[in-house]
Structure 1
Amino acid sequence: MKQRILAEAERLFWRYGIRSVTMEDIAKQLGISKKTIYQHFTDKEQILSEVIQDKFGRDHKAMACVAVEAENPVAEIMHVLAMIQKNADQVSPNLLIDMKRHYPQAFALFKQYKEGEVLRSILENIQKGIEQGLYRSDLNPGILARLRVEQIELAFNNDIFPSNQYTMQQIQYELMHHFIRGMLTEQGFTIYNQYVNQYNHEVH
């Protein structure tokens, strides 16, 4: 039952934001009583914290698989973008805003993951790309990795990207493509263009 509660809470939080989802909403969707939820969790923040830990654990495994299976660092970034794009329309722009303002424990977990696993995987990707001649050798990997990590949070900033003007898919697509294009060598561009053409062919 605990895993069912976490799975439904994740779906609702990601879709509608955190503040607008009540314990009653979660119970109603599962066809159980609020009392049943309180047998497993003390409050909504505990549910949120466990949802985030589960979600980040799954994301980390998925990214690790991509890093191992991708033919090269450009392919790795394109696969990660495809994963983000696939789930972007299921993510409310309020998700991170709610977390930052009202759920400090959960936001601390997000920051820890962002500045740990995510930063490390981006840094490794950039270093591999430079070594393989796909990214420019004059890059500063540390600065660029931090830039990309901050873009993740930036995409949720409603003051910069109002949700009535841009979808999360559009924002993530533009930010990621802008980021990777700035790093590529001519050899890297050849590979990148192949993936873009392949993606456009599959979409159309």
Structure 2
Amino acid sequence: MREKILDKAGEMFLNLGFKSVTMDDIASEIGVSKKTIYTHFKNKTDLVKEVTNYMFDNICCGIDLIHEQEKNPIIELFEIKRFVINHLKNEKSSPQYQLQKYYPKIFSDIKKKQFDFMQNSIKENLQRGLDQQLFRDTIDVEFISRIYFYGMTAIKDNELFPTQMFSQNELLDKYLEYHLRGICTNKGIEVIEKQLKEIK
């Protein structure tokens, strides 16, 4: 039951927002009493914390599975993007903004976890790209890995990129192309062009 609550609450938070979804809404959607939810979670804040960690862990596991295949690092990034979009179901609300506004401590904790995970992942990706001569040998891996993380965070800012102007899928496509074109060799650019043709 706990996992069912986490799945449904996560889906509702992504689509409707952390603020607007109530415990009553979640109970009604699952078809249980609110009391049942409270046997697993102390309050809504506790549920939000557990949901964000649950979603984070699921996404990390999926990215790790892609990572373990050790594919071409450019293709790997496109596959990770597709996985994340599919997992988040092209979120219709602005969950990051709402999480930051209404649950700042949870937001801060999850951002730190995201940073630590992404740093390891993207640095390994960059190094493989260098080894395969897909990325320019003049890039600074530490700098690029941090810029990549903060760029990925920034495109989720609903004030900078309103959902009525940009879909999450479109933003990730544009940002990934922007990131890769800035670091790729001519050999890498050929791989990007092929990937872009496949997603159009």
In 1, Cα distance between the equivalents of 2:175 and 2:146? 14
Pick closer, same or farther for the CA change 1:90–1:78 going to 2, 3 Å.
closer
In 1, Cα distance between the equivalents of 2:176 and 2:118? 14
Which residue in the other structure is 1:113 paired with? Answer: 113
In 2, Cα distance between the equivalents of 1:2 and 1:87? 19
* Structure 2: gaps of 5 or more residues: none
Pick closer, same or farther for the CA change 1:86–1:5 going to 2, 3 Å.
closer
> 2:59·2:87 contact (CA, 8 Å) conserved in 1?
no
1:52 Cα shift?
1.6
% of aligned pairs identical? 25
In 2, Cα distance between the equivalents of 1:117 and 1:163? 26
Which residue in the other structure is 2:188 paired with? Answer: 188
More displaced stretch, 20-29 vs 64-73? 64-73
Query: What is the alpha-carbon root mean square deviation over aligned residues?
Result: 1.6
* Structure 1: gaps of 5 or more residues: none
1:100-147: per-residue Cα shift (whole Å, max 9, x none)? 111133213321222100121011111211121110011111111111
More displaced stretch, 26-35 vs 93-102? 93-102
In 2, Cα distance between the equivalents of 1:85 and 1:25? 25
Which residue in the other structure is 2:72 paired with? Answer: 72
1:70 Cα shift?
4.1
SS of corresponding position for 1:58 = helix
1:195 Cα shift?
2.3
In 2, Cα distance between the equivalents of 1:157 and 1:79? 23
Q: TM-score, normalised on structure 2?
A: 0.93
1:160 has 2:157 as partner: no
In 2, Cα distance between the equivalents of 1:9 and 1:69? 31
Q: TM-score, normalised on structure 1?
A: 0.91
